[in-house]
Structure 1
Amino acid sequence: MDDLPKCSVCQQQFSLKGPAPYLLPCLHPVCETCVTSAAGGVISCSTCWSEVNLTDTSLQKDVVRLKEIFHLTVKHCPTELLCTHEDDGNQSVCWCQDCEELLCEYCQNMHSNFKVTRNHVVQIFTDLEPTISTVPKFCSIHKYDPLYLFDKSCRKLICARCRFEDHADHEVEKVDVAAVTVTKQMEYHKNELSTLQTRHQAYMQSIRQGTEATDKTHHSLNENIRHIFQSLRSQLNQRENELLVDLENHTKETKATQHALVTACEEDKKTCTRVLDYINNVFLFASKSDILGLERYVGEMTRSCLDNAAPQTDYAVPTADFNTNSLSKLKANVSGFGAILTMDMDGESVKDRGTQTDDDFMADVEMKHKMDMEELKTKIDSDEKHIESLTKLTDKLNSEIESLNTRIDEKEAIEKKDAERIDLLLGAARECGVHLLKPGTVDRSLMLKCIPLKYDKDRVNLDCVHINTEGDLVNRESYTRPAGEGGLKKYWGTCSTVPLLMDGCPQYWEVENRVSVDKPLSENWFILEVGVCREEERDLLQWIGLRPHSYCIDVSHCTTHGGICRMIGKEGTRVLCLPDTLPNTAGASRTLHYGVVCDDARKKIVFLDVKEKKVMSMLDNVDCSEPLWPMFGVYNPSLLTVSMRLVEGSDINMTEEKKTMIVKALS
């Protein structure tokens, strides 16, 4: 269990049952105990010495290390794991990935016998491999709603209800789509860090080679100095010792610098390796939702590694040389002879002026002047190319800025238009239940309103029909309440409390009719009627089907087919007869469920048979110049029993199949 990660503050090993690990921005773990007991709300990571102020930063649980701890415990100490399915204290032997439960042998057998869990992925401890969890997470606000959306503005997971409450104006996308984008970003971080790690290794190798070259140079110069001073030993012993000490100091400084570079590069490599290993563990243990929360930390550490990256070129080895110019003159000036010099980038030594003649010095000055002029000319050419490149880049940036401003203006215009459409949709939704006939379209002509129609109880013809205690219109006169002044006198039924609105939106309602035939019908006797007419046509006859400016469906006896049919009437004319509505025999009963769509914008009325799931008739060129009133009639109590229930508003079951029928009829 030495492989278990440790808290970067208290250095205590994490365990499956101990304090949970939390993730610091530097990707080091800290235990829950240290988080809750942090002095002054500040945590100092003892590994990289970075500090985190908990008042400014909210730490999240390190889900990757939690799963790593679980798998290490399964690998090294499986006896510590007890069954969590029944909490019976039995030794667990396997893990159910779908239930996220530890199972003992008994529970494993039961698990495989139940139909619900028979196909779950159950892994024996010896075969357990890291897998990504597919168990959905649920919203902390709406407990039973899964978190399947990612809010790009708030950078958090939300459920469907959160989407329409606090996050209605935010840009969101599905977790799977967001996770794919972040996974690609992490793959990019991984590739960048892998490349940087390779550069670290190459740079360290070049430094080691430089160290070897420095040792070789030291040995060569040591031998050279000793050979020269053999001939001058009597005079140069003192100077020889001084130069050897100078050489040793120079070598120590050079090697100390190289050692410091190696040490710094090793530290950068360790950090790079640690971040790279953590990303690999993310791909092993983290779910898609976990990846979304980790991307910020991983991205910051990747940028930190790249900012501290080693140079891409090999290490330039600083070498040394021993100056032997004018050796004959130096024999007379032994006390000032010799110097240990550092070689420049081109391998040329920096000459000691104290050992040069005037001619040598002037030649060096001329050579240096010539080199400086060449370098200056090269720099001028480079600067001119750089200025030209900057000019092109500036032109490109100005063009991109102009294009970006244009796109921003277009986006703002689209957002304004979308806001207007949303206001239109919300306004219609406040009026009544609204269903979009085509997804993604915010247009009044494509919004179906299930209007809140009501029977007008004050206009019921109580001499023929009445509304029972359940709110249904039945074909029996009222024995409890006499007809009032405002009631209908001729029409066998009632109308709605208000006429249909003329607002460009298709309007929809349904009636559910329970019909029982007591005696066979004949001679065009009516059963029921549903339709619309103008206000002045409501009470001129027992029914509206034969009046101008009326549109209806009635169920009655048909002399043409000799049975009970559905008949569609338009402005006093029968335009369609549908036979076999129900048997014309005593004792026959059936429930007839019809829907009505009235579209004043398209000047259409559609009659649906909800039970048979089909359009019965579609009437064109409907006169909508004046408001139309929904009408409801039930007839002939001596021959049959009719109960008509009005289905409206939110009580309507608006299925996709029903919407498809309506769209096709209105097209």
Structure 2
Amino acid sequence: MVIDLTHIQLTYVSQYCFVSFRMDTFPKCSVCHQEFTLKGPVPYLLPCLHAVCETCVTSATGGVISCSTCQREVNLTDTSLQKDAVRQKEIFYLTVKHRPTELLCTNDDDGNQAVCWCQECEEFLCEYCQNMHSSVRLSRNHAVHNFGDITPQNLENETICSIHEWYPLDLFDKSCNMCICCQCRRGEHADHDVGYLDEAAEGVTQRIEQHRKDMSALLSRQQTHLQSIRQETQLTNRTQDTLRKTIEHTFRSLRSQLDQREKELLIDLESQTMETKATLHAFETSCEEHHARCTDTSGYIRKCLLYASKSVLLQLETTVEGMTRTCLETASPKTHDVPEAVFNTNGFSKLKSDMSGFGSITTLKEDSEGGTPEDKQTQTDDDYLADLEQKHEMELAKLESNIASQNERTKQLQQLTDKLNAEANNMKLELAKLESNIASHKESTEQLQRLTEKLHAEANNMKLMLAEKDQTCHVALETINRLQTFLIGFPTEGCVHLLKTGVVDRRMVLNCLHLKYDKDRVNLDYVHINTEGDLVNRRSDTRSAGVGRLKKYWGTCSTAPLPRAGCPQYWEMKCRVSLDETLTEYRRILEVGVCREEQRDVWLWLGERPGSYSMSVSHCTTHGRICRKTWKEGKNVLCLPDTLPNTAGASHTLQYGVVYDDARKKIVFIDVKENKVISTSNNVDTSQPLWPMFGVYNPHRLTVSMTLVVGSDINMTEEKKAMIIKALSWW
């Protein structure tokens, strides 16, 4: 049975919801991930007990909501969502506890800072209204709590019946599953099963308390299981390192033996091929001589028929006939069968089988049982005992496992070598038998040549691969050593990347700066920095007048100017944009760039200022859509369409990067998501320090949240490095 009671959910359920979540964390929408605020969209409760804001409920595509926390989909046509009263009270309590400066007096709406809360009136009161509230007869006995004294328990308030005013909801109708007052009891609920609200709430509390205990026990079991898995993972990693070294040594020795055998076979092949070629050459010479005689005779006969007179033909008949008979009686040419050599692979299947079954990775359980039946059939007793001894040594002493494993693998490799030698002897015997049948195989030479070339190619490829691997490792070690020596005393703060492998030079080092928003200079009349550290285009509810705050520019700057490091410096911005309406004219969305110190607060954006370099995202009347515009020294130098659609309700995440190179006097703007360079500004004036600037605009038409991605949080991929290298045009 579900009881829809605000104060019951607050008093009992919320006490246990905070067991798994920190009370200092404001809840967020499971769809748009926006943080709930006291004056923002109302949270609704999903069947999975996660919350979704009212904005996402009303704008759900196809009436289906997908919870990003647990990936469960909810069809709003089949499911009716109720307001999440627990999280509403939670947001209220967290706001009072951690953001009291955002709460203003609601009694006279005079904008004064609130200092207390009237539980019965449900209003915030300033000091003046608190005194007036306590002096009026109707409200002098109200429960008024100072912000420091408010707890989740004293936020509970008596709920009044919406039908019969001034009558509290102190009864519960089990038939209708709803709270009623005593007047409702006498009316349409007269014949229903009705009980006291406190009794019904106590039953619900006991059942929810049992649910909490069940979940606590489950979490404890899961924690124990996770700890066991982590310990097993660590043990597995150590075992993997030990066995990997053993396997590498074993198969390195095996490959050496196979290379030696390959050389012997190639020498035998070369010797037999030379004999076969000599025989074929003798046949070829004899056949060519006979062919030449026949050709000459045939040619002279054609000439006789063409030029000789009848009398001459009669004279030549005897001579021509004699020569023709001589050619015909000579042994007629016949096809000589080329002796064919084959690569005897008898026993190859067994060798492959032995190789495929050679070595195994087994668990300690299998080892304790003495190995598998296949191992016992193929190993001798000595080998089996040695293997068993090694496995016991690995189990008893991890530090001696490498030596024992190498010894055992050496014995197994020797056995395999003996088998290979035996197979080689068998191959030699088979080759001797096949010499008598060489004459019956004509195409052997070509096949043998192809096989020889293939074997040579594979051997050369393997040698090249091994040489390349050794060279790569050597270069990497030298580069690391040089880079470590070079980076000692590097004057920048952040995460350093080497842009070109094997080259250690300050101009080849990319420094991902650790920039920070200057919270003391934020223009609070138009923007502010939220609790997550993001710059948003909403004015701050509390706008303290700071001496150093920006007055004109809609944004903020970094806490310090860019250092003159003599190398490229890099930072990124991740911007979440939601359009409330279609943009027109030159409406700006956001802006990033750098400028000189005196230009930081000249105008509401950087684009038209001298001594500034920036990239802005705004509506463009030229292209009729949202574009990215690059500005240099107060001039628009480039305009490119952006992927953000200019439609109301559109939401998109944009991510841009900025490269500043004071040595080459360049600034590069990069679209990180599209992985391409937007624009490059050359001949940048670096005579004065430049300040990174960040701006967000038009709060009445759209929502912008800009996150600063810096230092080690930047995902510096090889593609991104190549893009930066190409933009700076080094090589």
> The TM-score by the shorter chain falls in which range?
0.3 to 0.5
Q: What is the TM-score with the length of structure 2 in the denominator?
A: 0.37
Q: What is the TM-score with the length of structure 1 in the denominator?
A: 0.41
